[in-house]
Structure 1
Amino acid sequence: MADCWVKKKKKKKKKKKKKKKKKKKKKKKKKKKKKKKKKKKKKKKKKKKKKKKKKKKKKKKKKKKKKKKKKKKKKKKKKKKKKKKKKKKKKKKKKKKKKKKKKKKKKKKKKKKKKKKKKKKKKKKKNC
């Protein structure tokens, strides 16, 4: 009878070890789910900060534009008068250059005409 009781006790101890291994696997899966939730919260915070900065910049620009328009009108009138004086000076310089070129051409033509007249007289005497 003693031999039968020893065999039954050994079998029960083996079954308890198998159950402990299954519980450890379930705990690892729960840790992965917690990491995903933290990433979603960070994205929402970034979007809210961008919207607040854009509204403040638009209000400051509108006030500066009204003051600049009045100053520009006074400066435009003064610039138009200066441009007219510069155009008259450029026209006078062009006329002086044309007169110098004409004088050089007349001197060259006079020398050529004298040489041609002498050659024609000599040819007529030989033909006669």
Structure 2
Amino acid sequence: MDDHFSPVSERLHNRRFAVAGNAHGVSGAGTVFHYYVDGHVISSTYQGGRIRTGNQVGHVTGPDTIELLFQCLTTDGEMLAGWSRGTVGVDDAGRTTLAFVWGWLSGATGGGESSYVEVCD
């Protein structure tokens, strides 16, 4: 792995994130994402709110950028899949933030922007 990918790994690996904003998506209040990073490979699981279960797979594309594919099963039984491109940042409190542009590939149409903030225990 290139050293310039290290900041993303340090900011994401084994950390959990809650939705800060997602006006056009299915994840929302109560949805928590748990990320893992191995080299430049990213994976995550998520659930809560309207999401019964979901997962993501992707890769680090730069010092603060990532690309993901996601899929989920909603509490209403919908199966959805999509893509996202994101930026990893830090807020004023030192928590990791994620900002995405995303779109649906299956099960729905359209897309939007969403943001997430690290859950600190």
TM over 0.5: no
User: Which structure's residues are more often helix, by fraction?
Assistant: 1
TM-score normalised by structure 2 residue count = 0.15
TM-score normalised by structure 1 residue count = 0.14
User: Which structure's residues are more often strand, by fraction?
Assistant: 2
